[in-house]
Amino acid sequence: MTMVEKQTNALWQTQLTGEILLFSLLGKILYQIPDKEWLQPLLDNEVFTEAPFAETHPDVLKGLALLQQWERAYQQNGRSHDLFKDLQVDYTNLFTGMRKLPVSPWESVYFNDERLVFQAQTMDVRAWYRRYGLEVRQLHQEPDDHIGLELMFIAHLAQLALAALEPNNEPEFEQALTAQRGFLSKHLLLWSLLWCEQMLEYAQTDFYRGLTLIIRGALAELSRILELSLPEGK
């Protein structure tokens, strides 16, 4: 039985739309240092009041609660400059700088003792992107295997599946889901859960702790839907 036969088109449409919105948002937030220009509209539009998978995975619900807790403190303190600055400091301490980072955002770092970037994992991720029509903006200057980019790629594959679903193009729909399974099992699931553990240990703000819980829960739920097993011990 194919995946499309296991759910109705309406259910798949809801599922894929949720994936697109959630993983693209999570990816974009993690890919760049916090900026009020894009963060404030998210808060004004109450983006963190609900999320896909919140009803089916407790981590997503807990993550939303932490984000809402951070947002309440931020709004009640007059959109506090200090609280926003804390976000920028948290992001910088976690992900940027020349020192050894407490939480590396790049996949390849997790697979070599020297914690080097631009390794075999990076090149394979680049090949995956190209296969489905994507390329990083600063090719050869930034590693392609950033956690934010990989999450956005999952959203891109969901978009391809949704586009194939509407005209009932089952071969392309199945191909997009197969690509999601392949990329998750060969890349994102192999390191993102350890990344989540490190984030929960080192992040200093409810904002980033909340995002991390949502990512962990959403990846677990997507794996369940696609009939993938999480790596042992995770």
pLDDT band at 1 (very low <50, low <70, confident <90, very high): very low
Q: Please give the backbone phi and psi of residue 128, each rounded to the nearest 5 degrees, phi first.
A: -60, -45
Q: What average pLDDT is seen over the chain? A: 92
Global pTM? Answer: 0.94
Return the axis-axis angle of helices 36-44 and 81-95, rounded to nearest 10°: 120
Query: What backbone phi and psi angles, to 5 degrees, belong to 106?
Result: -110, 135
Round to whole Å and give the CA distance between 146 and 125.
10
Buried b (16+ CB within 10 A) or exposed e, 21-36: ebbbbbbbbbeeebee
Q: Domain 3-225 classified CATH 3.30.70.260?
A: no
CB 23 within 8 A of CB 152: yes
Residues with Cβ within 8 Å of 17's Cβ and at least 6 positions away in sequence, in order, are 162
Q: In the prediction, which pLDDT does 98 show?
A: 60
Q: What is the pLDDT of residue 16?
A: 97
